[in-house]
Amino acid sequence: MTHPFTKLTTTASSKPPPPLMTFTFLLILCIIGFYTLHHPYPSPATPPLRNPQTALHFQKTFLSLSSNYTVSSYLRDLTHHPHLAGTEPSLDTVRYVQSHFEQLKFNTHTVEYKALLSYPVHASVSAHFSNGTTVELSLTEKGISQNAILDVVQPYHAYSPSGSAYGKVVFVNYGREEDYRALEAAGVNVSGCVVMARKGSVLSRSGVIFLAEAKGAIGVLLYAEWDRLRGGGVERGTVMRGVGDPLSPGWAGVEGGESLDLEDSEVSKRFPKIPSLPLSFENAQIILGSLWGGFVTQFLNDLGRVNGGRVGPGPTMVNLTFQGKKKVATIHNVFAVIRGLEEPNRYVLLGNHRDAWTYGAIDPNSGTAALLDIARRYALLMRLGWSPRRTIIFCSWDAEEFGMIGSTEWVEENLVNLGAKAVAYLNVDCAVQGPGFFAGATPQLDDILIEVTKMVKDPESESGTLYDQWSAPNRIFNIQRLGGVDSDFASFVQHAGVPSVDMYYGKDFPVYHTALDTYTWIVGHADPLFHRHVAG
């Protein structure tokens, strides 16, 4: 396997794509500019010119090269078909990104890892009502074509154990400790029951399932509250604890390297012991509307509109069945390197994951399209004589959706190098989801982030900067801390200690992890004219 830090002196070939740039990555470019923009140099023997006017010219040049046509064309290519990690269609996106970098004549290479992934074989949910009727709930998503149904992986929870659960249903709200305390106060016991929870912002999917397991539940049905906006979408996702390949916890899953057995306690403790499945909002309401039993005042806002706040148990019974397979698959990270002129052994990294549960137009390819355009624009600057002061590494991660596996394995393999040489890691997952700017960072990068937002025109208004919108009196000016494990910055921050930024435009989007996360949805809802993708 080729080590990513050993190829900084080699070159490759390339093609220039049409012009583009997403809004969020425009900010990233500005930040990268702070770290890396340099002046032109006439020859290797001549010291770089120290001309502030020239530096300003290059900054303006690469900010002026954006185009909504190009960002939309990249995005359309990347979302032509679903590309779940570890599957054959995902290799098309590997080749697409790699070819793009090579055609720009960047030092390009791919790093492969073996990792344990999880796929569905069969899933079903049936509801058995007190009047003797039974309804088989369709897990097929509405609003997509028959071809899409065949192409897209069925809704499931990765790493859920195979098995069946048959029991009365209890609604547990968000599935938090305080929700179980409220149920207990109302005399409701979930032991031996199938619990139904709605996904919130406090607990992850795995957090909901592991806590339900600890409370004695035999199965979990999980739905997204905002699903009523989706027209039948179902949110897929992982329920594994932690990040990285579970068979190589703490070290990289390289070819020929050590790996644990699936039965090893260090591996098995990362997976829940009870089966779970995602449901559409519509199907969840069918079950919730049939519950009697306990009454929980705190849940009235959630259940009042459905059945007067009754949470069960039952009398409705549910039969939940899931059969899955865990298999070791090859995943592919793709890298492109621009060698720094003065400090080649100091790295600024830009990263975005490439894999998706379905088509992944917003998550993650709004960010991937931006990453490709960043590379294109840097290549154009280099033809004009520009060179970065420090080495820039473009990172296209695989298997993020299964638990940040691609980025974690690479960080584990290169931990010493990153700890000593990485200046910053700049992450974008879902670059454009809707209106409003949101950012997280480690404290070292706060000031830079603020300064950058003062330089960028707010795409939501006729005048003013992003900073003006972000810091307006009726808005919250808040740089979040990167303490979670919900994107590829996790290993850089928490394992390697690399200063990091994570940015996105739009807080949430209703087609998250569904088969409706398509290019068509972006054009129709998230950013019809791509004005959020292109700044000012």
Q: How far apart are CA 469 and CA 457, in angstroms?
A: 10
What DSSP string describes 210-254? Answer: HHHHHTT-SEEEEEEGGGGGTTS----EE--SSSS-TTSTTS---
- Residues with Cβ within 8 Å of 121's Cβ and at least 6 positions away in sequence, in order, are 162, 323, 324, 325
Q: Look up residue 153 and give its two tokens.
A: 């992986």
Q: Which residues pair with 107 in a beta bridge?
A: 337
Map residue 323 onto helix, strand or coil: strand
Q: How far is CA 471 from each of CA 318, 451, 467, 468, rounded to the nearest angstrom?
A: 49, 12, 6, 5
Q: Is 400 a catalytic residue?
A: yes
- Residues with Cβ within 8 Å of 492's Cβ and at least 6 positions away in sequence, in order, are 349, 407, 411, 418, 422, 425, 427, 498, 500
Burial-class residue 536 by CB neighbours within 10 Å (0-12, 13-18, 19+): middle
Q: Look up residue 487 and give its two tokens.
A: 């994107």
The catalytic residue among 102, 112, 282, 400 is 400
What DSSP string describes 383-445? Answer: HTT---SEEEEEEEES--TTTSHHHHHHHHHTHHHHHHHEEEEEE-SSSBSSSSEEEEE-GGG
Neighbours of 466 (CB within 10 A): 25
Catalytic residues: 400
